[in-house]
Amino acid sequence: MKKILTGIQSTGTPHLGNILSVIIPSLDLSNKYFSFIFIADLHSMTKIKNMEIIRHNTYQVAAAWLAFGLNTENSLFYRQSDVTEVTELAWYLSCFYPHKRLKLSHSFKENINHVKEKISVGLFTYPILMAADILLYNAEVIPVGKDQLQHIEITRDIAKRLNKKIGKKVFILPKAFIQKETESIPGIDGKKMSKSKKNWINIFSTDEILKKQIMRIHTDSKSLNDKKNPDNDGIITLYKLIAPINQVEVMKSKYLKGGYGYLDAKKTLYDCIIDKFSDERKKFFSLIKKKSLLDHILFLGAKKARKIAFERLNYIRKNLSFNTLLR
């Protein structure tokens, strides 16, 4: 059985963009593939320095995956920091990768321009840890947002270099899995939805806050009676991703006719979100109160993951001429 693997950082509650581009497609694939799903809390340390906040966010991410129906019986669901083998592998990878190449990585370049405060070494080597996440299990298919494509390329590059060095196919070259429709989901300002831009829609907030987020979606300044352009419109772009196609057509024709305001469209989008995700929201709100249950689920997942990770790492160690370790 082929393996898929993906991670979401514990930088906050997963937003609609994460859900549509990573969580739902990964869970869809989990019928066909064996899945490794983890919470990238080590990666979030490159951005958040308050460890209590990271811990809090980890529960949010865990509850989101479970609310969407992740089955922990037939997949591995764990916290990245619980499987310490990954950091050892990251070290080996880092020693065979030229730093000049990492300088070109966008996770580094973007932050260099935006984040004025100190850039840590961890942020610089972010893609190496991500490569280790993947190569530790030889995962073949990586469901991610489009912005992660470059990291997958770096992972393939590292895998190739090490295979060549060792003279054996120790690492499988992974492929990104990106769905066309959800490759880049706009936030309320029309730019890609992301935690750092604070332009998200968080379906796991209260009805009231969720409504406020939707009401803030940017539009042009046409008034109620004006005819509106249904293409290139933030509300319809999001509506398309969750509403049935015939409902989208209805909204589009209302735009073209006029007499239908952006406020009406936003209300329809809000109702649609509330309706579509009602079960998941209920489950999330219940799970998030049960921290010890979440801890237990992640503990069991880490135990299973470590078994596989330990054996794989030993195999890699052997191929690098290090001693194999006993547990």
Site residues for ligand TRP per CB under 6 A: 5-7, 9, 40, 43, 130, 133-134, 142, 144, 148, 151
How many alpha carbons lie under 13 Å from residue 225 in its C-beta half-sphere?
A: 0
Instruction: Please tell me the distance from the alpha carbon of residue 126 to that of residue 128, in angstroms, as a whole number.
Output: 5
Q: Which residue pairs, CB below 8 angstroms and at least 24 apart, start in 278-282?
A: 280/67, 280/68, 280/203, 281/67, 281/203, 281/204
Residues 29-32: contacts with CB within 8 Å, 24+ apart? 29/4, 29/141, 29/143, 29/177, 30/4, 30/70, 30/71, 30/74, 30/75, 32/2
Minimal distance in Å, beta carbon 142 to ligand TRP?
Answer: 5
Decide whether 130 or 210 has the Cβ nearer to ligand TRP. Answer: 130
Of 159 and 265, nearer to ligand TRP (C-beta) is 159
CB of 253 to ligand TRP, least distance (A): 37
- In the complex, what is the shortest distance from the CB of residue 259 to ligand TRP, in angstroms, rounded to a whole number? 42
Q: What is the dihedral of CA 212, 215, 218, 219, to 10 degrees?
A: -170
Residue among 195 and 306 whose Cβ is closer to ligand TRP: 195
CB of 133 to ligand TRP, least distance (A): 4
- Of the pair 78, 270, the CB lying nearest ligand TRP is at 78
**Can you spell out the DSSP letters for 218-239?**
------TTS----TT-HHHHHH
Q: How far is the CB of 127 from ligand TRP (least distance, A)?
A: 8
Which of 206-212's residues contact partners 24+ apart within 8 Å by CB, and which partners?
207/274, 210/270, 210/273, 210/274, 211/270
Q: For ligand TRP, which residue has the nearest CB? A: 7
Cβ-based nearer residue to ligand TRP, 159 or 235:
159
Specify the residue, 119 or 256, whose C-beta has the smaller distance to ligand TRP: 119
Q: How far is the CB of 9 from ligand TRP (least distance, A)?
A: 5
Query: What is d(CA 60, CA 288) in angstroms, rounded to the nearest whole number?
Result: 7
